[in-house]
Chain A
């Protein structure tokens, strides 16, 4: 029969490989001492001595681990999920309310390219659904200098793209 005590987490982290090797050597040495125990008589079906187990109070089991049910309920409100939801869920932009002053053309343009005015417009054959978005465009240029050196330049810029689907089935991408 082997009795042991479980180490705490701090004790486990402080444990080094050489300690484990030393303990293993000690265990090996002691196991040779068990050779003497072979002289013990084998157990039989009839007990040699009977030990009465005393009555005890009901045991209360206490969990010292993490309260997973509560954690699971709290996780969706975590700041990490709030930041990751921009990628995972991409929540739609919601604009409600009435502007204080009438919108000028510039205001409307800003709202449109921000994808805040996407929707259904027009009537008859020109009825369409519009979707604005910003795209990154890379402009490449190549110049040959006097000494024959080729200089390649790449410039990144943001552009606006409007995609339309008309009621007739015609589609268009305007840049």
Chain B
């Protein structure tokens, strides 16, 4: 795709010591941000690309729980942290025409990391990186081990909205949401829905086929205006 500079954000990390100043800026292609009460935002997901030294410095800062500045189209500049015990992965990207490969860093907050199957089962919050109804139902079912079929996705998301259990988060390159509720509560909703004949167990026996969600990270799959108007939030600058 063209005009990537209009879609990418920036992460800036500044640290001053007695004799030197570190000022690192790297490009950011994915972001999930949640505003906190104390004014500092919590970044659940950051995907960064830059040279080896810059990514190494930012990686150390993230693991150290440091605060950095994030800017994205429609977001302004906000200070954020990834929180305690984040999970990080690094990779290399070979760009044609460049001698050195670029480094790619994906950092995920502890809360988002625990949404993996087998994570924190008693949690009441689930952070999801897309708001597609089928994806929301699939990830909730994977996390809490719920027996569901893709045909129930629209009903399930409608039920979440009716009970105000789903809320959008600030996202760059994705449409993240937070879903509130426990596995037991969701199973209770499903049981009631089947009893009332709002949803039905399919007649056809066999495995449940879910669509592939590999395209969730394709730039073409995301909305062109990265931060839609109702998600654009100007967070307060910390004092």
Contacts of A128 in B (CB 8 A): 147, 201
Is A92 in contact with chain B by the CB < 8 A criterion? Answer: yes
* A-B CB contact pairs (8 Å), 10 listed: A73-B1, A75-B104, A83-B106, A87-B115, A88-B108, A88-B112, A118-B208, A129-B201, A131-B145, A171-B188
Q: Mark B76-89, 1 if CB is under 8 A from A, else 0.
A: 00000000000101
- Cβ-defined contact, A90 with B116, below 8 A: yes
- Cβ-defined contact, B91 with A80, below 8 A: yes
Is A108 in contact with chain B by the CB < 8 A criterion? Answer: no
- Cβ-defined contact, A71 with B49, below 8 A: yes
Segment among A30-38, A43-51, A143-151, A162-170 that sits at the interface with chain B: A162-170
Query: Whole-angstrom distance between the alpha carbons of A110 and B219 in the complex?
Result: 39
- Cβ-defined contact, B147 with A118, below 8 A: yes
Is A140 in contact with chain B by the CB < 8 A criterion? Answer: no
> Interface residues, chain A, CB within 8 Å of chain B?
16-18, 66-76, 78-92, 117-123, 127-136, 161, 163-171, 173
Known A-B contacts A83-B89, A90-B142, A169-B195; the reply to A130 vs B102 at CB < 8 A is no
How distant is A83 from chain B, measured CB to nearest CB, in Å? 4
B interface, how many residues as a size bin?
35 or more
Q: Mark B191-214, 1 if CB is under 8 A from A, else 0.
A: 111111000111111111010111
Could you say which of B94, B121, B191 contacts A165, with CB atoms under 8 Å apart?
B191
B1-59 contacts to A, CB under 8 A, are 1-5, 7-8, 19-21, 27, 29, 45, 47, 49
Known A-B contacts A71-B27, A91-B213, A163-B147; the reply to A80 vs B105 at CB < 8 A is yes
- Cβ-defined contact, A129 with B102, below 8 A: no
Extra A-B contacts (17), CB below 8 Å, given A17-B21, A89-B214, A91-B214: A67-B97, A71-B102, A72-B8, A74-B95, A75-B49, A75-B217, A79-B91, A81-B91, A87-B112, A88-B217, A89-B129, A119-B207, A129-B147, A131-B147, A135-B118, A135-B145, A163-B147
Known A-B contacts A79-B89, A91-B213; the reply to A127 vs B201 at CB < 8 A is yes
How distant is B55 from chain A, measured CB to nearest CB, in Å? 10
- Cβ-defined contact, B102 with A87, below 8 A: no
- Cβ-defined contact, A120 with B208, below 8 A: yes
How distant is A14 from chain B, measured CB to nearest CB, in Å? 9
Query: Whole-angstrom distance between the alpha carbons of A87 and B149 in the complex?
Result: 21
- Cβ-defined contact, A129 with B4, below 8 A: no
Contacts of B161 in A (CB 8 A): none
Known A-B contacts A81-B91, A88-B108, A134-B118; the reply to A75 vs B202 at CB < 8 A is no
Query: Whole-angstrom distance between the alpha carbons of A72 and B222 in the complex?
Result: 13
Contacts of B138 in A (CB 8 A): 90, 92
Contacts of B19 in A (CB 8 A): 16-18
- Cβ-defined contact, B108 with A84, below 8 A: yes
Contacts of B188 in A (CB 8 A): 171
Query: Whole-angstrom distance between the alpha carbons of A132 and B129 in the complex?
Result: 24
